[in-house]
């Protein structure tokens, strides 16, 4: 029975792709272009060199359905510069995923500062900058933790947020399948 | 009819760069690489940013260069050359406008899996990004329409990049590769340059054969089926697997339908052939798709012009899909057995297992459909020329090994339907992108590769005007292509849609002198029309042979004369104007809903 590959399995899911690519100029544009050309969304994307300077690692969080995940996987693998593609459901317990965040919070009196400091301690966050009007909090964690921290800081007045995007890694010796 | 024979045999001695390392200019590395890759001909157009490469090019004794009149022409020539030979087509252009003029050709080759290497000049490295004269971000512009592209940043990388470019273009699912070379790198010297034997592409893998268990699984499914159908596409042509396909289909007794890109993959004279399927396919091919219980797709990609409404496509069938590109599998239609690999190897493996299937009843049923619903058209008037009739006559008068190119539109569909294709690599058409202006330069490119063969471009009066300037290229290079214009005075294919789906509101589709909109009765006629340009006179102005044919009795003599002389020829045939292409599945409809038109 011929079923439309674009119609079945429309349950909404979210995958984290780890992509190892050759560290050449234009690779990021190629990957980003693939998503825009085919109409897939990117929720977050982070790129940096790996232990091998010739290789970069991208972590891409992609929302969609099962068929989109399968096409994204095939299309990423098809790029000439791609060395490896792995993907996991964001709920998969076999991966560790983290994001770093910088939050500038309004803190113009001593009580507020003390309170913010306490919140930071609870979340094992750090105060990395202090000015007369504001403090910058730095935190690292999974999505749940980041979300909770932001909620706690919200009442003080969040002036600015910078997030790194998620990076992730499979547990155990190697993610190679 | 013959062109000047070209004594371009296989390249003999390897050029200096490969054997004895020595200091070489970047521009020379390019030429050496082309020679090393077996390039016998390149198409293109010069300019300031590529002048160094051209400076070396005309010192090469192995490479013939064809100077075109527009870079788009060079692209389609290279495509015609590549498709008709199986070799990589090579194009050389300058920066900026030279490179941007290649974009349509790149997109065309990318869609239709044509191997090309396009080398473009770029402004000098220090100027890149400064909006320099004739600068364009060529890797940026061409990224979505190439299989891969490179901006060369150092002359040391140049040999390896060129080696990689050819490898990527010709292997796997073939496609176009752009190598953008800044002017200072063409002028730079490389000490001890060696042309690499091997590509260096750690992330690029091509699966050449499918796992044997999968092939067995496919064969078991086929063997158990009652109504199997082969749906063969352009990938069979790419793989040079027509013989293996023939063996498989005839041994197992399975009917074969081909896509537009697959025409010639299976002889249309064979009783198992159902001709083309899809939007303008035969009724019996589409009925067979809707009735089959196993559909064996080989080197075809379930394009929407083939499937119609996907949810109703092949409703009773298990689907086997053989394709070299994993991303092609289950892209549009969920597949039951995937065979990722080269079609030739897969068919060879299948042939080891294949024996005759129990399909006599099925073949018999299809034969009945063939008799019941043949392709057909009516003659009207003694001297009127129906476009379908014109194609039949071209087919009758052309030799078996003639190479047929087409432009895009109704004439293309009539050629697909009424020309009998029996061999692979004899049909050049723009299927995926549908590029008007493709056919004439593609025919020129094929003629360069096959000087002794008859090469015909079946053109529309609209499309031919998109690259008609290449008449000069053909004349000066003694390329005796035959252009047959199926002249209906319309952008006929668009007019057909307006006729069927837009209440005959013929907005902007008439190519002859526009008539008062109030008088639709005059639409179908040539009465009082004088086509501009006069194509026959235009051909003569270019130094070619040209003739206008308006009566059926004049047709055969004109075709015979054109096919037997050794010049570039153009025959402008005025056909019945308001003819539509049937059968037709309206876009987005199910294959069951064929419009059969007049009977
Ligand atoms: C006006 C117009 C009308 C059209 N109407 C129709 C119509 O009625 N019917 C029709 O069929 N088409 C029609 N087309 C063409 C259509 O748009 C597609 O171009 C065509 O159907 C695609 O053909 P294909 O599936 O053979 O794939 P191709 O585009 O030829 O692709 C080849 C496939 O084979 C694979 N492949 C490549 N090399 C190999 C190898 N070595 N081994 C294995 N696999 C390989 C590729 O990965 C790819 O999936 C029309 C086009 C136009 C312009
Ligand atoms: C470059 C380009 N522009 C527009 C189109 C849309 N189009 C498809 S067929 C067609 C008409 C072609 O007219 P003609 O060459 O006379 O062929 P006919 O259909 O009349 O046989 C047009 C305009 C196209 N395919 N390519
Ligand atoms: Mg026309």
**B533 contact partners, CB below 8 Å, separation of at least 6:** B465
Q: Does B203 touch chain A (CB under 8 A)?
A: yes
Q: Does B317 touch chain A (CB under 8 A)?
A: yes
**Shortest alpha-carbon distance between residue A74 and chain B (Å):** 5
Question: How many contacts (CB atoms, under 8 Å) link A and B?
Answer: 70
| Residue of B108, B390, B487, B493 with the most ligand 2 atoms within 8 Å of its CB, for mutation | B493
Question: From CA B437, how far away is CA B326, in angstroms rounded?
Answer: 32
Quote the crossing angle between the two packed helices B360-372 and B283-291, to the nearest 10°: 150
* Nearest in space to B76 (alpha carbons), one of B37, B41, B45, B116: B116
- By CB atoms closer than 10 A (0-12, 13-18, 19+), residue B227 is buried
Question: From CA B256, how far away is CA B270, in angstroms rounded?
Answer: 10
Tell me, in angstroms, the distance from the centre of ligand 1 to residue B301's CA. Answer: 6
Q: Answer left, alpha or beta for residue A9, where phi above 0 means left and psi between -120 and 50 means alpha.
A: left
Judged by CB atoms closer than 8 Å, whether chains meet at A80 and B168 is answered as yes
- 3-class SS letters over B534-594: CHHHHHHHCCCEEEEECCHHHHHHHHHHHHHCCCCEEEEEECCCCCCCCCECCCCCCCCCC
For ligand 2, atom 13, which residue shows the shortest CA distance?
Answer: B491
Q: Which token pair is A119?
A: 């919140």
| Interval A15-35: pLDDT, tens | 999 999 999 989 999 999 999
Backbone angles phi, psi at B121, to 5 degrees: -75, 155
**B136 contact partners, CB below 8 Å, separation of at least 6:** B95, B96, B97, B99, B100
pTM of the model: 0.94
Q: How far is CA B201 from CA B180, B559, B570, in A?
A: 18, 50, 46
pLDDT of residue B599: 37
Whether the CB-CB separation of A175 and A85 falls below 8 Å is answered with no
**B24 contact partners, CB below 8 Å, separation of at least 6:** B16, B17, B32, B189, B190, B193
Question: From CA B56, how far away is CA B36, in angstroms rounded?
Answer: 15
User: Which chain A residue shows the shortest CA-CA distance from B324?
Assistant: A78
Tell me, in angstroms, the distance from the centre of ligand 3 to residue B542's CA. Answer: 22
Question: From CA A172, how far away is CA A159, in angstroms rounded?
Answer: 39
Atom of ligand 1 nearest to the CA of B111: 29
pLDDT of residue B22: 66
Q: Does A83 touch chain B (CB under 8 A)?
A: yes
- The DSSP line for B316-348 is T-EEEEEES-GGGTTSSB--SEEEES-HHHHHH
pLDDT of residue B28: 96
- The DSSP line for A103-155 is EEEE--SHHHHHHHHHHHHHTT-EEEEE-SSEEEEEEEE-HHHHHHHHHHHGG
**Shortest alpha-carbon distance between residue B330 and chain A (Å):** 6
Q: Which token pair is B153?
A: 């940043």
Judged by CB atoms closer than 8 Å, whether chains meet at B314 and A22 is answered as no
ipTM: 0.89
Question: From CA B137, how far away is CA A136, in angstroms rounded?
Answer: 40
Strand extents, DSSP E, chain A? 13-22, 44-49, 55-64, 82-89, 95-106, 126-130, 134-141, 158-163, 167-170
| Residue of B305, B390, B409, B497 with the most ligand 2 atoms within 8 Å of its CB, for mutation | B409
Q: Which token pair is B472?
A: 């000069």
User: Looking at residue B15, what DSSP letter applies?
Assistant: P
**Shortest alpha-carbon distance between residue B88 and chain A (Å):** 18
Is the Cβ atom of B407 under 6 angstroms away from ligand 2? yes
CA dihedral over B98, B99, B100, B105, signed as positive or negative: positive
Question: From CA B308, how far away is CA B315, in angstroms rounded?
Answer: 12
Q: What sections of B86-128 are H helices per DSSP?
A: 97-100, 103-111
User: Which chain B residue shows the shortest CA-CA distance from A29?
Assistant: B140
Question: From CA B488, how far away is CA B466, in angstroms rounded?
Answer: 16
**Shortest alpha-carbon distance between residue B168 and chain A (Å):** 8
Q: Does B533 sit behind a cis peptide bond, omega within 30 degrees of 0 on the bond before it? A: yes
Number of CB atoms found within 10 A of residue B516's CB? 7
pLDDT of residue B501: 96
The β-bridge relationship of strands B228-232 and B89-93 is: unpaired
Q: Does A111 touch chain B (CB under 8 A)?
A: no
Question: From CA B415, how far away is CA B421, in angstroms rounded?
Answer: 10
Q: Does A44 touch chain B (CB under 8 A)?
A: no
Partners of B296 in beta bridges: B230, B320
pLDDT of residue B2: 40
Positions of B marked active-site: 71, 133-134, 183, 493
Give the gyration radius of chain B's Cα atoms: 25
Strand extents, DSSP E, B474-531? 482-487
User: pLDDT by residue for chain B (599 residues), tens digit each?
Assistant: 344 444 444 444 444 454 555 689 999 999 999 999 999 999 999 999 999 999 999 999 999 999 999 999 999 999 999 999 999 999 999 999 999 999 999 999 999 999 999 999 999 999 999 999 999 999 999 999 999 999 999 999 999 999 999 999 999 999 999 999 999 999 999 997 789 999 999 999 999 999 999 999 999 999 999 999 999 999 999 999 999 999 999 999 999 999 999 999 999 999 999 999 999 999 999 999 999 999 999 999 999 999 999 999 999 999 999 999 999 999 999 999 999 999 999 999 999 999 999 999 999 999 999 999 999 999 888 899 999 999 999 999 999 999 999 999 999 999 999 999 999 999 999 999 999 999 999 999 999 999 999 999 999 999 999 999 999 999 999 999 999 999 999 999 999 999 999 999 999 999 997 766 666 666 678 888 889 999 999 999 999 999 999 999 999 999 999 999 999 999 999 999 999 999 999 999 999 998 887 53
Q: Which token pair is A150?
A: 């932001």
* Nearest in space to B224 (alpha carbons), one of B338, B319, B348, B358: B358
Whether the CB-CB separation of B233 and B299 falls below 8 Å is answered with yes
Q: Which token pair is B377?
A: 């058209």
Whether the CB-CB separation of B436 and B489 falls below 8 Å is answered with no
Protein residues whose CB sits closer than 6 Å to any atom of ligand 1: B 112-113, 173, 233-235, 238-239, 259-262, 276-281, 299-301, 303, 305-306, 323-325, 328, 342-343, 408, 412-413, 431-432, 434, 493
| A-chain residues near B204 (CB < 8 A) | 80
Nearest ligand for residue B416 CA: 1
Q: How many alpha carbons fall within 13 Å on the CB side of residue B551? A: 5
Is the Cβ atom of B490 under 6 angstroms away from ligand 2? yes
* Nearest in space to B141 (alpha carbons), one of B162, B122, B116: B122
Tell me which residue in B139, B203, B334 faces A8 most closely, judged by beta carbons. B334
* Nearest in space to B49 (alpha carbons), one of B185, B189, B190: B185
**Average pLDDT over chain A, rounded to an integer:** 92
Atom of ligand 2 nearest to the CA of B463: 15
Q: Which token pair is B589?
A: 């409809």
Whether the CB-CB separation of A62 and B150 falls below 8 Å is answered with no
Q: Which token pair is B180?
A: 């953008």
Percentage with pLDDT > 90 across chain A: 86
pLDDT of residue B10: 44
Burial B482-491 (b: 16+ CB within 10 A, else e): bbbbbbbbbb
Question: From CA B465, how far away is CA B336, in angstroms rounded?
Answer: 45
Q: Which token pair is B532?
A: 């501009």
Number of CB atoms found within 10 A of residue B373's CB? 18
Tell me, in angstroms, the distance from the centre of ligand 3 to residue B412's CA. Answer: 10
Q: Which token pair is A133?
A: 């009007």
* Nearest in space to B432 (alpha carbons), one of B302, B520, B587, B318: B302
Is the Cβ atom of B436 under 6 angstroms away from ligand 2? yes
| A-chain residues near B329 (CB < 8 A) | 74
Judged by CB atoms closer than 8 Å, whether chains meet at B168 and A75 is answered as no
Question: From CA B577, how far away is CA B488, in angstroms rounded?
Answer: 5
Atom of ligand 2 nearest to the CA of B496: 19
* Nearest in space to B68 (alpha carbons), one of B468, B341, B591: B468
Nearest ligand for residue B508 CA: 2
| B-chain residues near A80 (CB < 8 A) | 147-148, 168, 201, 203-204
Q: Does B557 touch chain A (CB under 8 A)?
A: no
- 3-class SS letters over B221-268: HHHHCCCEEEEECHHHHHCCCHHHHHHHHHHHCCCEEECCCCCCCCCC
The position carrying tokens 């499309």 is B463
Q: Does B592 touch chain A (CB under 8 A)?
A: no
**Shortest alpha-carbon distance between residue B311 and chain A (Å):** 5
| Residue of B110, B232, B234 with the most ligand 1 atoms within 8 Å of its CB, for mutation | B234
């Amino acid at each position: 029975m011929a079923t439309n590959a674009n119609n079945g399995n429309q349950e909404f899911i979210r995958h984290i792709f780890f992509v190892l690519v050759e560290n050449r100029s234009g690779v990021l544009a190629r990957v980003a272009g693939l998503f825009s050309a085919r109409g897939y969304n990117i929720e977050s994307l982070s790129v940096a060199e790996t232990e091998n300077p010739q290789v970069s690692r991208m972590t891409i969080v992609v929302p969609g359905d099962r068929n989109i995940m399968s096409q994204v996987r095939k299309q990423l693998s098809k790029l000439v510069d791609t060395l490896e593609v792995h993907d996991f459901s964001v709920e998969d317990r076999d991966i560790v995923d983290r994001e770093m965040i910088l939050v500038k919070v309004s803190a113009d009196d001593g009580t507020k500062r003390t309170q913010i400091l306490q919140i930071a301690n609870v979340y094992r966050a750090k105060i990395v900058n202090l000015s007369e009007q504001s403090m910058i909090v730095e935190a690292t964690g999974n999505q749940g933790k980041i979300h909770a921290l932001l909620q706690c800081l919200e009442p003080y007045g969040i002036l600015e947020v910078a997030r790194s995007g998620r990076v992730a890694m499979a547990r155990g010796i190697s993610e190679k399948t | 009819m013959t062109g000047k024979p070209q004594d371009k045999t296989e390249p003999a001695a390897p050029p200096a760069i490969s054997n004895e390392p020595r200091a070489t200019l970047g521009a020379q590395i390019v030429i050496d690489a082309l020679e090393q890759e077996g390039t016998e001909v390149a198409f293109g157009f010069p300019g300031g940013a590529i002048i160094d490469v051209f400076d070396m090019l005309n010192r090469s004794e192995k490479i013939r260069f064809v100077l075109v009149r527009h870079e788009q022409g060079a692209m389609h020539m290279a495509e015609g050359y590549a498709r008709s030979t199986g070799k990589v087509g090579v194009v050389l252009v300058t920066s900026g406008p030279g490179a941007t003029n290649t974009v349509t050709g790149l997109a065309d080759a990318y869609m239709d899996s044509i191997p090309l290497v396009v080398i473009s000049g770029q402004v000098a490295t220090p100027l890149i990004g400064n909006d320099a004269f004739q600068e364009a971000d060529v890797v940026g512009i061409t990224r979505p329409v190439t299989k891969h592209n490179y901006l060369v940043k150092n002359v040391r990388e140049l040999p390896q990049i060129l080696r990689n470019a050819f490898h990527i273009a010709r292997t796997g699912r073939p496609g176009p590769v752009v190598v953008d070379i800044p002017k200072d790198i063409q002028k730079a010297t490389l000490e001890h340059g060696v042309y690499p034997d091997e590509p260096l592409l750690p992330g690029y893998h091509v699966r050449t054969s499918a796992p044997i268990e999968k092939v067995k699984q496919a064969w078991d499914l086929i063997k158990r089926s009652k109504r199997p159908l082969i749906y063969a596409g352009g990938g069979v042509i790419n793989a040079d697997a027509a013989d293996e396909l023939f063996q498989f289909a005839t041994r197992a007794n399975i009917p074969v339908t081909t896509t537009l890109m697959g025409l010639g993959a299976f002889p249309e004279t064979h009783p198992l052939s159902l001709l083309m399927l899809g939007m303008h396919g035969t009724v019996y091919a589409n009925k067979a798709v809707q009735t089959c219980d196993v559909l064996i797709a080989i080197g075809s990609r379930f394009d929407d012009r083939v499937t119609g409404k996907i949810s109703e496509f092949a409703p009773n069938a298990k689907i086997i899909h053989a394709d070299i590109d994993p991303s092609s599998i289950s892209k549009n239609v969920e597949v039951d057995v995937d065979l990722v690999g080269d079609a030739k190897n897969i068919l060879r493996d299948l042939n080891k297992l294949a024996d005759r299937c129990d399909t006599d009843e099925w073949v018999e049923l299809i034969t009945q459909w063939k008799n019941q619903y043949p392709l057909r058209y009516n003659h009207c008037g003694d001297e009127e020329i129906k476009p379908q009739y014109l194609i039949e006559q071209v087919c009758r008068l052309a030799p078996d090994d003639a190479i047929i190119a087409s432009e895009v539109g109704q004439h293309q569909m009539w050629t697909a339907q009424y020309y009998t294709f029996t061999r692979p690599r004899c049909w050049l058409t723009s299927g995926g992108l549908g590029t008007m202006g493709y056919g004439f330069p593609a025919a020129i490119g094929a003629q360069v590769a096959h000087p002794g063969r008859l090469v015909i471009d079946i053109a529309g009066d609209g499309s031919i005007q998109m690259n008609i300037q290449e008449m000069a290229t053909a004349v000066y290079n003694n390329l005796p292509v035959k252009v047959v214009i199926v002249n209906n005075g319309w952008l006929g294919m668009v007019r057909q849609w307006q006729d069927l789906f837009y209440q005959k509101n013929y907005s902007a589709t008439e190519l002859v002198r526009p008539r008062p909109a109030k008088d639709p009765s005059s639409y179908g006629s040539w009465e009082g029309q004088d086509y501009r340009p006069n194509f026959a006179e235009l051909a003569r102005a270019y130094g070619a042979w040209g003739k206008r044919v308006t009566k059926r009795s004049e047709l055969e003599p004109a075709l015979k004369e054109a096919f037997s002389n050794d010049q570039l020829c153009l025959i402008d045939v005025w056909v019945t104007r308001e003819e539509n292409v049937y059968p037709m599945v309206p876009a987005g409809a199910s294959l069951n809903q064929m419009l059969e038109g007049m009977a």
